[in-house]
């Protein structure tokens, strides 16, 4: 991940520059590798970079050729510009189809860098506001056209990268953009979450939706027949493209179905690419010390051609939990089965409680579910980054797509089941995507989420929801499990052990250890009295916390952020069940439900 701060049409941009640089610095944790800024006319773009692709100074091997570059321009340092510097671009994200875009541009374009993000400039020159339609990846960007004095800004279709827009009543003609709220609230009194799949144009001062998939209308029930082979192959393709990197990477492995499948496919692909690179390199095979460092092995580009790719000789996997947690136990079993280099990390309840205020500062939310699950992820990300890993794959999105949360047991029919799935996917930018992005970015780590690939969503969201419905014969996410079940083919290599493939859903905040949520509730009792619950802050309006835990988090949020930021927060509770606690363990179907714990 990287960090963006930008302001279009500031009345005195030169005077504002020191403030802009200070505000940009507030998200330097997202991009600790490089900082840059450009001022043109009355617009300023600032960028904090995390180098993943086009890093500069990275070694690469293609067949018998090794090249090394230390050129700043080739490194992809941002903001990026075109040849005559009339276009300025700041991007946060990864564009997985950048090689394809470079090869198929209608007009020749001189690329200054090897960065995957630079393709946005020639796409804008060719397609204008339609440029984001051609991008396959996760991104938020701000582009300034000097000749037209025009700023456009866009966010990826699902909102995997966090992005906000702000305005100030003191400068009504100015528009601000940033990766996080903490950049905006010191200068803006109106802030909103930039809607996913949209593009903003300063010429019209309007936001329009460019992402228009076939499944977008939640009232229109999907009807496509189930094809397990297509489902499996599309997810495998999604994970394959997300291994695009020139830095060490790993996988987050909770031991649940989603992260275990991601780890399994990533491990298969890592081993396949290693074998392929050794065959391609032949007599020019790298020395063992290069392999140990994971440098310069060969990958596959979008045309299925060999292309440079760096990866570790052994895939690293990571899990976290309280001592003896369900997730750590299951994750270790998966790692042994797959042969990944696994790192089990434990935290204490005190560690988690001590981190809560910092977690809320980085998350910029007071949603109970998000905070519960983000705290262990935040702690784990710090340890992963300390090991030198800069990118991880994660399993977010699967439960929304397939109705995997246990409350989906209560869906009365396939129409309501599907409607809830679509709504949950549309709101991921305020929930699990926010958690994955900000928990990792807090430490300069990037999380990639293959379940939210555009092509995979097109396949999975159009499946007849009757196939996804939970019954006595079919547990949650049955079709996803079945797509990777090789039990009917004795010659096939299993993706996962059966007891993992068919393991009941554990929400991450439960799986790290049941004592974690219990301790949060107990500590909330110490910080929030019955009298406080009866007298919430007037400025909260109708957004009143309904539990002491929620009230406690809201108080901590208010310590960091003004009321203007609260409009960007969504508090989530499950549907079809009568409960205020969003934990999966609060649902009666759970094997370790609260009354049995």
Task: State percent of the chain over pLDDT 90.
Answer: 78
pLDDT in tens, 195-235: 999 999 999 999 999 999 999 999 998 999 999 999 999 99
Question: Band of the pLDDT at 386, cuts 50, 70, 90?
Answer: very high
Q: Quick one: pLDDT at residue 276?
A: 78
257: Cβ–Cβ under 8 A, 6 or more apart, which residues? 398, 404, 477, 480, 481, 500, 501, 503, 505
Domain containing 107 equals 3-209
Give pLDDT, residue 61.
22
Q: Is 173 annotated as a binding residue?
A: no
Q: Looking at 479, 496, 513, which one is the last position of a domain?
A: 513
In a domain, 259, yes or no: yes
Q: Is 172 within the bounds of a domain?
A: yes
Per the annotation, does 339 bind a ligand?
Answer: no
Name the β-bridge partners of 392: 250, 447
Q: What is the CATH number of the domain that holds 415?
A: 3.40.50.620
CB 52 within 8 Å of CB 390: yes
Residue 61, domain member (yes or no): yes
Mean pLDDT of 94-120: 95
Give the number of other CB atoms < 10 A from CB of residue 122: 21
Residue 116, marked binder:
yes
| Strand pairing report for 306-309 and 297-300 | antiparallel
The catalytic residue positions are: 2
Q: Which of 209, 233, 266 is where one domain is finished?
A: 209
pLDDT at 314: 79
Q: CA dist 582 to 71, 160, 317, 417, 544, Å?
A: 50, 22, 28, 18, 16
Q: Are 318 and 343 in contact (CB under 8 A)?
A: yes
Q: Confidence class of residue 272 from pLDDT cuts 50, 70 and 90?
A: confident
Residue 591: pLDDT band (50, 70, 90) is low
The SS3 of residue 479 is: helix
> Is pLDDT at 8 greater than 80 in this prediction?
yes
Helix (H) and strand (E) counts in the chain? 19, 21
Same domain membership, residue 410 and residue 264: yes
pLDDT at 44 over 60: yes
Whether 505 and 442 share a structural domain: yes
Q: What is the pLDDT of residue 479?
A: 98
* Out of 69-83, 131-145, 282-296, least confident range: 282-296
Note the pLDDT of residue 492.
94
**Angle at alpha carbon of residue 140, lines to 139 and 145, rounded to 5°:** 120
pLDDT at 317: 97
pLDDT at 56: 46
On whether residue 541 sits in a domain, the answer given is no
- Is 124 found in the same domain as 22? yes
Report if residue 66 sits inside a domain: yes
* Predicted pLDDT of residue 583: 59
CA 563 – CA 181 distance, rounded (Å): 12
pLDDT score of 582: 62
Per-residue model confidence as pLDDT tens digits over 140-184: 999 999 999 999 999 999 999 999 999 999 999 999 999 999 999
Q: The pTM is what?
A: 0.91
Banded model confidence at residue 592, pLDDT cuts 50, 70, 90:
low
Number of independent structural domains in the chain: 2
Domain final residue, candidates 464, 484, 513: 513
Q: Is 343 helix (H, G, I), strand (E, B) or coil?
A: strand
- Average pLDDT over the chain reads 89
Phi, psi of 343 (to 5 degrees): -125, 110
Q: Do 121 and 263 sit in the same domain of this protein?
A: no
């Amino acid at each position: 991940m990287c960090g963006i701060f930008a302001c279009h049409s500031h009345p005195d941009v030169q005077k504002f520059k020191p403030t802009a640089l200070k505000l940009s610095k507030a998200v330097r944790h997202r991009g600790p590798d490089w900082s840059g800024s450009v001022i043109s006319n009355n617009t300023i773009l600032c960028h904090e970079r995390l180098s993943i692709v086009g890093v500069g100074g990275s070694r690469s091997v293609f067949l018998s050729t090794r090249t090394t570059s230390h050129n700043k321009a080739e490194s992809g340092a941002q903001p990026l510009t075109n040849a005559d510097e009339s276009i300025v671009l700041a991007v946060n994200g990864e564009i997985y189809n950048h090689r394809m875009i470079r090869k198929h541009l209608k007009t020749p374009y001189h690329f200054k860098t090897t960065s995957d993000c630079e393709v946005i400039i020639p796409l804008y020159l060719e397609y204008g506001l339609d440029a984001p339609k051609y991008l396959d990846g996760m991104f938020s960007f701000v582009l300034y056209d000097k000749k037209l004095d025009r700023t456009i800004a866009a966010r990826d279709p699902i909102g995997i990268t966090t992005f906000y827009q702000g305005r100030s009543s003191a400068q009504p003609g100015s528009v601000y953009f940033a990766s996080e709220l903490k950049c905006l609230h010191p200068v803006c009194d109106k802030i909103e979450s930039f809607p996913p799949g949209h593009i903003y144009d300063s010429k019209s001062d309007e936001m329009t939706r460019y992402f228009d998939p076939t499944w977008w209308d939640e009232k229109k029930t999907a009807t496509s027949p189930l094809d397990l082979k297509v489902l499996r192959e599309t997810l495998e393709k999604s994970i394959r493209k997300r291994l695009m990197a020139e830095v060490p990477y790993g996988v987050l492995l909770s031991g649940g179905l989603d992260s275990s499948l991601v780890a399994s496919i990533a491990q298969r692909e890592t081993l396949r690419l290693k074998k392929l690179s050794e065959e391609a390199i032949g007599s020019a095979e790298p020395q063992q010390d290069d392999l140990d460092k994971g440098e310069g092995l060969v990958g596959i580009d979008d045309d299925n051609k060999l292309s440079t790719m760096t990866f570790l000789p052994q895939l690293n996997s990571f899990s976290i939990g309280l001592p003896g947690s369900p997730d750590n136990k299951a994750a270790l079993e998966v790692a042994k089965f797959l042969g990944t280099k696994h790192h089990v990390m434990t935290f204490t309840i005190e560690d988690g409680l001590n981190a809560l205020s910092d977690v809320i500062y980085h998350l910029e939310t007071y949603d109970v579910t998000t905070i519960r699950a983000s705290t262990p992820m935040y702690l784990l990300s710090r340890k992963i980054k300390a090991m030198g890993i800069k990118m991880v794959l994660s399993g977010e999105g699967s439960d929304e797509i397939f109705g995997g949360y246990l409350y989906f047991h209560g869906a009365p029919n396939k129409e309501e089941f599907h409607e809830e799935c679509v709504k949950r996917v549309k709101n991921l930018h305020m929930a699990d995507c926010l958690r994955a992005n900000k928990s990792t970015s807090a430490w300069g780590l990037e999380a990639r989420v293959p379940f939210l690939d555009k092509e995979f969503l097109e396949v999975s969201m159009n499946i007849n929801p009757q196939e996804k419905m939970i019954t006595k014969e079919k547990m949650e996410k049955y079709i996803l499990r079945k797509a990777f079940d090789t039990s009917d083919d004795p010659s096939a290599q299993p993706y996962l052990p059966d007891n993992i493939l068919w393991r009941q859903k554990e929400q991450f905040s439960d799986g790290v250890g049941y004592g974690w949520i219990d301790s949060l509730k107990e500590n909330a009792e110490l910080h929030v009295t019955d009298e406080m619950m009866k007298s919430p802050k007037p400025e909260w309006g109708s957004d009143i916390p309904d539990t002491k835990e929620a009230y406690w988090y809201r108080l901590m949020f208010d310590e960091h952020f003004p009321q203007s930021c609260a409009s960007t927060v969504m508090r989530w509770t499950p549907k079809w069940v009568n409960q205020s606690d969003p934990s999966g363990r609060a649902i009666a179907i759970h094997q370790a439900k609260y009354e049995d714990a």
